Amino acid sequence: MLGGTASASGIFDEPLNEFKSVMATRAIEDFYDSDTKRGFYGGGRIDGRWGFMGPIGYALGGLPPDAPLWGAGYKNFVKENFNRTMTCQSYMTSLPLETNNITLDPDVKDAWGLPAMRVTYKEHPDGLKVKQYFLERSLEILEAAGAKKKWGNPVRETTSSGHLMGTCRMGNDPKTSVVDKFNRAHDVPNLFIVDGSSFVTSGRNHPTCTIEALAFRAADDIVKSAKNGSLFQRSAVKSA
């Protein structure tokens, strides 16, 4: 699971001055829960961010479709509008699919002659509906906020992400999961996998805090098991 995103931007009459000091964002979760009336399962949040995180990012990928892309007109547009642009960035559900997986390629080898990693991913149609819905809500927010110009990035399938989740799902049954509730692998003695791979769903917010919470819990279990000797006993039994 990669976590779906959608974004819309607007240019305002007055400078926003949000580039000063540490960037702060404000997120709303009005559309966090599922609602069958929408015609899809997912939900998420809308995060108000300034520009594209900085002047270089804004200049390279934050301009509206009809903005000049070269010469004096381009430079003037960036200069005049960087500090007047706000982006509504949404983060939303990505449904888990068995067909999305990571395997070792049977044919392709890496530089060391080992099987290369093969990532197979195709977005669920539900995910595209969620993106379109959040894009429309974001445009409505920018309109209500008084943007003199607004636009949305086209809704497409997710092809990259900074938040990777799934493939080593958590569960009680070794037949259907990779790690237990303390992130300990079912099949490999004393292997703990503590990252986003243990997620059984993508959630509807950025996963960092949840990963940190799972890491603290796994660490507590490791300490307790080490102190009472069960950590090493389990390893000995498994190895035998």
Same domain, 91 and 185: no
Q: What is the pLDDT of residue 238?
A: 47
Same domain, 168 and 92: no
CA distances from 164 to 16, 20, 151, 168, 169 (A): 33, 31, 28, 11, 12
Q: In the chain, how many domains are there? A: 2
Residue 30 maps to a domain: yes
Same domain, 221 and 180: yes
Q: What is the pLDDT of residue 237?
A: 43
Question: Residues 6 or more apart from 26 whose CB is under 8 A from it?
Answer: 47, 48
- Indicate if 186 belongs to the active site: no
Q: What is the pLDDT of residue 235?
A: 46
Same domain, 70 and 19: yes
Residue 24 maps to a domain: yes
Q: Which of 124, 163, 186, 206 is catalytic?
A: 163
Cβ–Cβ < 8 Å for 40, 128: no
Same domain, 138 and 169: no
Q: What is the pLDDT of residue 239?
A: 42
Residue 47 maps to a domain: yes
Q: Supply the pTM of this predicted model.
A: 0.85
Q: What is the pLDDT of residue 158?
A: 85
Residue 63 maps to a domain: yes
Same domain, 40 and 68: yes
Residue 114 maps to a domain: no
Residue 130 maps to a domain: yes
Residue-by-residue pLDDT tens, the chain, 240 positions: 988 889 999 999 999 876 666 666 678 999 999 999 999 999 999 998 755 567 888 899 889 999 999 999 999 999 999 989 989 999 999 899 989 988 999 999 999 999 999 999 999 999 999 999 999 999 999 999 999 999 998 999 888 888 889 999 999 999 999 999 999 999 987 899 999 999 999 888 889 999 999 999 999 999 998 888 877 655 444 444
Question: What's the per-residue H, E or C state across the chain?
Answer: CCCEEEEEEEECCCCCCCCCCCCCCEEECCCCCCCHHHCCCCCEEEEEEECCCCHHHHHHHCCCCCCCCCHHHHHHHHHHHHHHEEEEEEEECCCCCCCCEEEEEEEEECCCCCEEEEEECCCCHHHHHHHHHHHHHHHHHHHHHCCCEEEECCCCCCCCCCCCCCCCCECCCCCCCCECCCCEECCCCCCECCCHHHCCCCCCCCCHHHHHHHHHHHHHHHHHHHHHCHHHHHHHHHHC
Nearest to 57 by CA among 2, 1, 7, 14: 7
Same domain, 190 and 212: yes
Q: What is the pLDDT of residue 4?
A: 85
Same domain, 52 and 135: yes
Tell me which residue range forms the domain holding 220: 163-240
- State pLDDT tens for residues 73-115: 999 999 999 989 989 999 999 899 989 988 999 999 999 999 9
Residue 112 maps to a domain: no
How far apart CA 175 and CA 40 sit, in angstroms, is 30
